[in-house]
Amino acid sequence: MVRNWLIKILLLPISILYGIGVSLNNLLHRYKLLKSISFSLPVISVGNLTVGGSGKSPHVEYLIKLLQPHISVGVISRGYGRKSKGFQWVNVRDRSSHTGDEPLQIKRKNPEIPIAVSESRSFGIPKMVGKFPQLQTLIMDDGFQHREVNPFLNILLTEYSSPYFSDFLLPVGRLREWPSGSKRADAIVVTKCPADLSEQDAEQFKEKLKPGPGQKVFFSYLKYGQAYFLFNPRQKLVDKPGGEAILLTGIANPKPLIEHLNDRVDRLHSLEFPDHHDYSAYDLGQLKKTYDQLEMKVRFVVTTEKDAVRLEPHARFLNDNKIYVFVQPVEVAFHQFGFPTFDDYIKNKLLEFKA
C-alpha cells in the first residue's frame, strides 16, 4: 500500500503535465481555434472519461437495437488495437487484428448495418455517408475525446463502482481528462449499477455527479444471456452448470463477470489479461496448462464476446486440445427512474435535429 502511494506521488508531475496538455486542447476547441466539424446527419457520440471499462460496446449495441427498426444507422469507431491503418470497412469475416475487437463484435451481431473504423472520424464519416447516403444516424464509438467531430448528442458513460469524480488523471489514475470535461455531455449514463438499485440510491449518486443545467442522468445495469459454445453458437451452456471453470478475459474490468459466474459454478479460476490483449501461442499454452490441472469432471472455459473474436486465430489449438470455450453474451438494460426514460430521451432528441 505504501509503495503504491509512493509510485503515485512520483507519477503526479506527469499527470499534471498531461492534464495541462488536455486542458489546452479543449480550450482551443472551445474558442474555435481548433476546428470541430458538424455533419448533415445526427452523430451520437458514446464515450467516457476513463481508459476502458465503462461498457461502451453494450451501450452502442443498445442504441442500434433501439434505433435500427425505425431509421438507418451506422457505426464508426477508432478500432483500438487493430494492426491496420486508415479508414477500413468492417466485414463479418474480418479478423480482429484488422478491425479491432469491439467493431468486429458489433458487426457480427449486426451484420446488416455499415460499420467502419478510422483514426480520424471526421475523415471516416463523410466516406460512410458517401457510400451509404441513406444513413440517417451515425453512432460514434469512443468519441468523447475526439474533438474534431462536433456530435449532435454527446453521451458520457461512467461506472457505478468507479465514477470519474473519484478518479485522477493518467498515469496516477485512469482519467483521460479532468472530471470537469463531463460538462460537455448532454447525457450521463451511470453503468454497471446493481440490478436492484433503489431510486433513493440513484438520487444520492446523482448528487455526487453534480450534473449541469440540462444534463440528463440515467442508470443502466448488465444483463447476462445464456453462454454458447465458441465454435457452435447453437450449443448453449446451461444456466448453472456447476463444475470447474476458467474465466479468460482481456477486458478492463472482469469483476462483474466474476461475480456473475461465482454463483453458477462450483470453482472458478480467473486468467486476466490487459484490455484488448492479442492472445499469443504462449498465452494459449498457459490456458492449456491451467485447464489440464482442473480436477472436476465438468470443466470448461468462459470468455467474453470481445475476447471471442481474438481467440478465433487459435481455433485449431483449442479444438485439438479439447478445450471447451463458451462465450458469455451481455447486454444492458436501464432502470426506469422518472421521465423521460433513456429510450424516449434519445428518440425525442433525434426529432429535434436540424441539418
The proportion of the chain whose per-residue pLDDT surpasses 90, expressed as a percent, equals 95
Instruction: Mark whether 33 and 152 lie in a shared domain.
Output: yes
* Position 92 confidence tier, pLDDT thresholds 50, 70, 90: very high
Instruction: Mark whether 241 and 101 lie in a shared domain.
Output: no
Residues in a beta bridge with 221: 333
pLDDT averaged over every residue in the chain: 96
Q: What is the pLDDT of residue 7?
A: 84
Instruction: Mark whether 239 and 287 lie in a shared domain.
Output: yes
Q: Is residue 266 part of a domain?
A: yes
Instruction: Mark whether 294 and 341 lie in a shared domain.
Output: no
pLDDT in tens, 331-340: 999 999 988 9
Mean of pLDDT values over 51-74? 96
* Position 145 confidence tier, pLDDT thresholds 50, 70, 90: very high
Instruction: Mark whether 84 and 213 lie in a shared domain.
Output: yes
pLDDT in tens, 253-281: 999 999 999 999 999 999 999 999 999 99
Q: Is residue 45 part of a domain?
A: yes
Residue 243 has pLDDT above 80, yes or no: yes
Instruction: Mark whether 192 and 288 lie in a shared domain.
Output: no
Mean of pLDDT values over 18-32? 94
- Which residues form the domain of 272? 228-328
| Better-scored residue on pLDDT, 10 or 291 | 291
Question: Which CATH number do you get for residue 14?
Answer: 3.40.50.300
* Position 344 confidence tier, pLDDT thresholds 50, 70, 90: very high
Q: Is residue 59 part of a domain?
A: yes
Three-class DSSP category at 301: strand
How deeply is 69 buried, as exposed, middle or buried, from its count of CB atoms within 10 A (0-12, 13-18, 19+)?
exposed
Q: Is residue 1 part of a domain?
A: no
Q: Is residue 2 part of a domain?
A: no
Q: Which string of b and e fits 27-58 if b means at least 16 CB within 10 Å?
A: eebeeeeeeeeebebbbbbbbbbbebbbbbbb
Instruction: Mark whether 123 and 249 lie in a shared domain.
Output: no
Instruction: Mark whether 167 and 30 lie in a shared domain.
Output: yes
Cis omega before residue 329 (within 30°)?
no
Q: Is residue 3 part of a domain?
A: no
Q: What is the pLDDT of residue 6?
A: 84
- What is the C-alpha to C-alpha distance for residues 105 and 140, in angstroms, rounded to an integer? 15
- Overall number of domains in the chain: 2
Instruction: Mark whether 196 and 251 lie in a shared domain.
Output: no
Q: Report how far apart, in Å, the C-alpha atoms of 78 and of each of 54, 56, 83, 133, 179 are.
A: 17, 13, 12, 21, 23
Angle 22-57-117 (CA atoms, 0-180°, nearest 5)? Answer: 70
Q: Is residue 4 part of a domain?
A: no
Residue 63 has pLDDT above 90, yes or no: yes
Q: Is residue 109 part of a domain?
A: yes
* Position 190 confidence tier, pLDDT thresholds 50, 70, 90: very high
Instruction: Mark whether 212 and 270 lie in a shared domain.
Output: no
Instruction: Mark whether 194 and 240 lie in a shared domain.
Output: no
How deeply is 342 buried, as exposed, middle or buried, from its count of CB atoms within 10 A (0-12, 13-18, 19+)?
buried
Q: What is the pLDDT of residue 2?
A: 59
Mean of pLDDT values over 296-325? 97
The proportion of the chain whose per-residue pLDDT surpasses 70, expressed as a percent, equals 99
Neighbours of 286 (CB within 10 A): 15
Question: Which CATH number do you get for residue 276?
Answer: 3.40.640.10
**C-alpha cell read off for 13:** 508531475
Three-class DSSP category at 42: coil
Residue 352 has pLDDT above 70, yes or no: yes
**C-alpha cell read off for 302:** 468462459
Instruction: Mark whether 147 and 25 lie in a shared domain.
Output: yes
- What is the C-alpha to C-alpha distance for residues 128 and 196, in angstroms, rounded to an integer? 40
